[in-house]
Amino acid sequence: MTEQKQQTTSAISDDLESFLRAFKDRDGNYKYFDRINNMMALNSTFVVVDYIDLDTNKPELTKLITDTPDDMFEAFNKAVYSILREIHYDYAQEIKDKIKVRIGNYSVQKGLREINADVINKLISVPGMVVRTSEIKPLAKKIAFACLNCNTLNEALLKGLTLKKPTSCTNCNAKELEMDPENSSFTDFQLVRLQELPEDLPAGQLPHYVEVTVMDDLVDRCRPGDRVLLTGIVRIEQEQWIQVRTSLFRLRMEGNNIEYLGGLAGNKDGRTVDRVSISSEDEKQIIAIASTPDAYDKLIASFAPHIYGHEIIKESILLLIVGSVTKKLADGSNRRGDINIFLVGDPGTAKSEMLKFAAKIAPRGLYTSGRGTTAAGLTAAVIRDKSGIMMLEAGAVVLGDQGVVCIDEFDKIKSEDRSALHEVMEQQTCSVAKGGIVATLNARTSILSAANPKYGKYDPFRNITENVEPLPIPLLTRFDIIHVIRDTAEVEKDSRIANHILEIHRDIEHAAQPAIEIDLFRKYLAYAKQVEPKLTTEAIDILRDYYMKMRNVDSEGMIAATPRQLEGLVRLATARARLLLKDTVDHEDAERAKFLISQMLETVGIDVNTGKVDLGVLHGKPLSETSKLKTFTDVFNGLSGEDKNDVEEKNFINELVKTGKFTEDEAKEFIRKAMQNGQIYERRAGFYAKA
């Protein structure tokens, strides 16, 4: 039987060798012969063979590769070695045991839910998202044990992941054997956990996952958050419960090749398989949509058509999905291209619906909600695997790298967990230093979050910071746009909303039809993300003038705008040009960015005390309160004098009212606040001293 198997392996090996030597691509190049020829120059030990090439030339072998992959890979490795030996004899001898053939473009694709007992020892290909990777450890391929009595070397071979040590020496039967590392061979080994893609997950189900072992050059090929297509052989290993071997086994995959889905892992080597694949036919349709005069309105109308109104918010979210261009500077630092948006508003104004729709339509979107979200779940966690290996597990913003993360119920997240987002939103990285693992992971993601106001409904007589009180001010300033959604009663508008909702319930198939079909719309957004428009001088002038106007110190209504707002303006203008597939950011885009920011300032940026626009509202205290506070302190210091005397309440209130900035009630309120904040205290009834 073994002899016959060897014969067939060598016959297959000859077949494969002739295929590798003779295969020509469309341009007439010897594709695989050239690849093998280049192995020495690239210091590489593997060759990637395209499954489709093999299927067109040797269809009888493609079935064997699925059913008996071990024999086929052995035959493949022999064939490559045989060709390499003729070209580079020395290199072939050096890497003889390391030669590997990887199968690319493998078409036997299965979902993670379809990996079961039927596919054991078969080659399959599975799409998934990498959620964990372990540290890299050396794995023994062959271990030599030296006999302490007669120095004979005894070899122990690896079977799967278990190693059987020889009990006695083959030469003199002595029992004392010691491992000899010099004559043993090792290879790099890493554990990777692959989880179902969010879009493939059936509703209400827990995501399935599979442990994958990768070796040699495949280690460190993928990071948590990468979407990959993994080709490998399904293996089984016995479960061990407290040293008792049971008849239960668990499935594990042995990686053969890793390819990236949709090129979202950046410009890494390896062929990328597009998750949102855009055919030339789609491209024609996309360009046709962009060239129509009402393209912008069409795009906005296609976003969540089942929600009535909210056009400005829909437009902002579209700009967030497409994003701006991330610019890399010569010194290695980045200028953030992702836009962050915060929606705050009354209950029942479809905030969550818009977030869910954004996560669904974005080329890479994740949705998470309030109470169930922790800092580790948002960023990254370090956990200890059952084998004792420390592993890094990615959280939402790392998994959503180069996509959109929608965080609902933003105000319900604990403050210590929310603070993890400060670095993500500005630096676009996520740093972890836990359990001996110190790492900085990429988190180039746009954050779209929604929250309810502190008092249930948004109170227009309080500033934004009071309405969303648990949120820290530094976090608020990191949002490019903050939209307040208020539920006001207007007969005409309410009637239109009611008709819209009831129409959807009456005729679910035909109501709320999008202007652009959802599948094409998704492809449009993915396509728009590849456009890189440049700023024109007229757009730069418009943005500069607007920023200078906002910063104008001499004017009465000076706004405490920061360079963050200027960068936000540039991002919004670029995103609009990108959405319309333009090469340049022109005056229209700059004007629209201006309009969106001024809309925000008119709702969020108004200081309720004066009724004027003042961005200081977002940065803690508006100008009116800051100047009142200064007056309050000056009057108090003036009354207490150099000797720090006690200040009488009645006297103090009268002096404050005289300044014209306070009414009597406001003065009393300010005294109460100052006592709460610990600035002053009541030394005796009706008399105050500075704390």
3-state secondary structure 583-643: CEECHHHHHHHHHHHHHHHHHCCEECCCCEECHHHCCCCCHHHHHHHHHHHHHHHHHHCCC
Res 266: pLDDT: 36
- Res 405 pLDDT > 80: yes
Place 265 in a pLDDT band, splitting at 50, 70 and 90: very low
The CA distance from 376 to 391, in Å, is: 13
Answer for the pair 451, 344: CB distance below 8 angstroms, yes or no.
Answer: yes
Q: Could you state, in order of their start, the residue ranges of all structural domains in the chain? A: 2-104, 112-255, 282-595, 623-690
Helix (H, G, I), strand (E, B) or coil at 247: strand
Q: Which pair of structure tokens corresponds to residue 338?
A: 């992702």
User: What DSSP state is assigned to residue 166?
Assistant: -
Residue 584 confidence (pLDDT) above 80 = yes
What tens digit of pLDDT does each residue of 524-564 get? 888 888 888 888 888 888 888 888 877 765 445 445 567 77
Integer CA distances (angstroms), 612 to 460, 600, 604, 609, 616, in order: 13, 13, 11, 8, 11
> Does the pLDDT of residue 585 top 60, yes or no?
yes
* Three-class DSSP category at 382: strand
More confident: 557 or 371: 371
Comparing C-alpha atoms, which of 44, 21, 33, 18 is closest to residue 218?
44
Say what the pLDDT of residue 277 is. Answer: 61
3-class secondary structure, 25 = coil
Which pLDDT value is given to residue 47?
A: 78
Per-residue CA distances from 398 to 216, 378, 383, 422 (Å)? 26, 8, 16, 14
> At 661, is the pLDDT very low, low, confident or very high (cuts 50, 70, 90)?
low
| pLDDT of 370 over the 50 cut | yes
d(CA 376, CA 421): 11
Rounded to whole angstroms, how far apart are CA atoms 542 and 21?
63
pLDDT tens string 30-65: 777 777 777 777 777 777 877 777 777 777 777 777
How far is the C-alpha of 624 from the C-alpha of 608, rounded, in Å?
9
pLDDT at 612: 59
At residue 118, does pLDDT exceed 70?
yes
pLDDT at 269: 32
Residue 565 · residue 615 · CB < 8 Å: yes
Task: Record the tokens describing residue 137, joined without a space.
Answer: 């450890």
CATH topology of domain 282-595: Rossmann fold (3.40.50)
> Which strand (E) or helix (H) includes residue 451?
strand 446-451
pTM reported for the whole predicted model: 0.68
Give the pLDDT confidence of 448-489 residue by residue, as tens digits.
888 888 877 777 777 777 777 777 777 777 888 888 887 777
The more confident residue out of 250 and 538 is: 538
The pLDDT, as a whole number, for residue 209 is 82
The fold of the 2-104 domain, in CATH, is: mini-chromosome maintenance (MCM) complex, chain A, domain 1 (3.30.1640)
User: What residues contact 274, with CB distance under 8 A and at least 6 apart?
Assistant: 261, 262, 263
In terms of average pLDDT, the best of 131-135, 138-142, 537-541 is 537-541
pLDDT band at 262; cut points 50, 70, 90: low
* d(C-alpha 33, C-alpha 49), whole Å: 11
**Section 508-523 average pLDDT:** 76
Let me know how many helices (H) and strands (E) the chain has, helices first. Answer: 25, 29
- Mean pLDDT is highest, among 80-84, 403-407, 615-619, 624-628, for 403-407
Is the predicted pLDDT of residue 359 greater than 60, yes or no? yes
Q: How far apart are CA 610 and CA 631, in angstroms?
A: 16
User: Mean pLDDT across the chain, nearest whole number?
Assistant: 76
Mean pLDDT of 293-318: 83
- The mean pLDDT of 397-421, rounded to a whole number, is 79
Per-residue pLDDT at 129: 81
Question: How sure is the predictor about 270, in pLDDT bands with cuts at 50, 70 and 90?
Answer: very low
When pLDDT is averaged across residues 356-362 and rounded to a whole number, the result is 81
For 152-165, the DSSP string reads -EEEEEEETTEE--
CA-based torsion, 324, 328, 329, 331: positive or negative: positive
What integer pLDDT is reported at residue 274 of this predicted model? 42
Q: Is residue 7 predicted with pLDDT exceeding 80?
A: no
- Distance, in Å, from the CA atom of 101 to the CA atom of 81, rounded to the nearest integer, reads 11
Are 142 and 185 within 8 A, CB to CB? yes
pLDDT over 90 percentage in the chain: 0
Mean pLDDT lowest among 306-320, 440-454, 523-537, 656-670: 656-670
**433: pLDDT strictly greater than 60:** yes
pLDDT at 267 (0 to 100): 33
Helix (H, G, I), strand (E, B) or coil at 356: helix
Residue at 658: amino acid letter: K
Checking if the pLDDT of 293 tops 80, the result is yes
The answer to whether domain 112-255 has CATH 3.40.50.300 is no
The residue type found at 513 is: Q
What was the pLDDT predicted at 268?
32
CA nearest to 403, candidates 300, 516, 265, 268: 265
- Would you state the pLDDT for residue 2? 47
For residue 653, what pLDDT band results from cuts at 50, 70 and 90?
confident
And the tokens for 472? 């820290």
**Planar angle of CA 447, 450, 454, nearest 5 degrees:** 135
- The mean pLDDT of 436-458, rounded to a whole number, is 81
* Region of poorest pLDDT, from 159-173, 324-338, 407-421: 159-173
pLDDT (0 to 100) of residue 628: 64
| In the predicted structure, residue 412 carries a pLDDT above the cut 70 | yes
So what's the pLDDT on residue 304?
81
Reply yes or no on whether the pLDDT at 172 is more than 70. Answer: yes
Q: pLDDT, tens digit, for every residue of 232-241?
A: 888 887 766 6
